[in-house]
Amino acid sequence: MQLIRYINDVPDALKGGVIALGNFDGLHRGHQAVIRTATKIAQEKGVAVGVMTFEPHPRAYFQPNQTSFRLSPFRIKCRQMRIMGVDFLYVQRFNGDFSSNTADEFVNQFLVDGLDVSHVVTGYDYVFGNKRVGNTEFLKQRGSVSGFGVTAVDEFRVDAKAQVSSTTIRKFLSEGACPEAANLLGRYWEISGRVEHGDERGRQLGFPTANVPLGEHHHPREGVYAVRAGIDRGGETVWYDAVANFGRRPTFNKSDVLLEVHVFDFDENLYNRNLRVGLIGFIRPEQKFDGLDALKAQLAKDCETAREILKARTFPANPHPFVAIIE
């Protein structure tokens, strides 16, 4: 997959392609339906399929002081799109200049002049342009004039109970409802980050942990989880069973949030390596213990519970690009 950051750098070989438009935070099943539709149309036309997305997320630009909310920061988003077979990803920097473009200016400058699209695919509720006045009907009207087709993909639902949306997925994760979030994502939700040095208290207690900062990621419910820990090896990800605590470590009077991961039956050095952590099941809320002996006893129980949860699930054989759901 080719990554393009400037509209004037689009190669001629990629122009005339089919473009999926959207923020695609989470790349959930609804987003996947949009990209699959674009891919199918591109294959029928014999042209490239691309995705146009925006960084930083527009929500982060317009509401810079809000808490972290990203389901899929840029690195994870790129990986997932590559897996889906996207030929190129055009990442438009979202700033004041870009946000001031009218819907007409967006179509002319980016879709027509820059990408020379033959077809555009969006979700049914896609809006764009200054004051969000552009929508799918506007795109269809402009497409009929400028010579490109438009497909708006209908709302996608896994079942009648939960709308497939990034907002719903964040709600599930904030409640510790990992399977419900995974059902809408089509895979288990993951946090990815570079392992940092910590206080090494876990090692002293007999449960060494890899400390992963949350960065832009949405904060799930604080507590202990059964997880899968992914380590990249030669371009492929190998997954290991693990247990993790996300929270503030109240026993040690800490206040900052951190994800601490104890990988079972594993003794490699993970410092400064990127670790992917897929949340499989919530075990218990975080709590403060009276002393280290009580904490050690609970950690042993948490490890046992995590192993039981993970043993009851079926995961793809290693290596695999993400923690998939296997019914």
Structural domain ending residue among the three candidates 104, 135, 153: 153
β 49-55/88-93 pair status: parallel
Instruction: Indicate if 143 and 28 belong to the same structural domain.
Output: yes
Say which range, 106-120, 225-239, 240-254, has the weakest mean pLDDT: 240-254
Does residue 320 sit within a domain?
Answer: no
Instruction: Indicate if 13 and 87 belong to the same structural domain.
Output: yes
Tokens 């506007």 appear where?
Answer: 138
Mean pLDDT over 148-171 rounds to: 90
- Is residue 316 over pLDDT 70? yes
For the full predicted model, state whether its pTM sits above 0.85.
Answer: yes
Instruction: Indicate if 27 and 121 belong to the same structural domain.
Output: yes
Instruction: Indicate if 143 and 30 belong to the same structural domain.
Output: yes
CATH code, domain with 237: 2.40.30.30
Instruction: Indicate if 146 and 91 belong to the same structural domain.
Output: yes
Instruction: Indicate if 147 and 225 belong to the same structural domain.
Output: no
Domain of residue 252 covers 181-311
Instruction: Indicate if 141 and 270 belong to the same structural domain.
Output: no
**CA 31, CA 185: separation in Å to the nearest integer?**
9
- DSSP line for 22-74: S--TT--HHHHHHHHHHHHHHHHHT--EEEEEEES-HHHHH-TTSPP-BSS-H
Average model confidence (pLDDT) across the chain = 91
Take residue 62 and report the two structure tokens written for it.
């317009």
Instruction: Indicate if 137 and 27 belong to the same structural domain.
Output: yes
| Number of domains the chain is built from | 2
Q: Are 115 and 147 in contact (CB under 8 A)?
A: no
Take residue 100 and report the two structure tokens written for it.
């001031």
Q: How many CB atoms are closer than 10 A to CB 33?
A: 17
Does residue 322 sit within a domain?
Answer: no
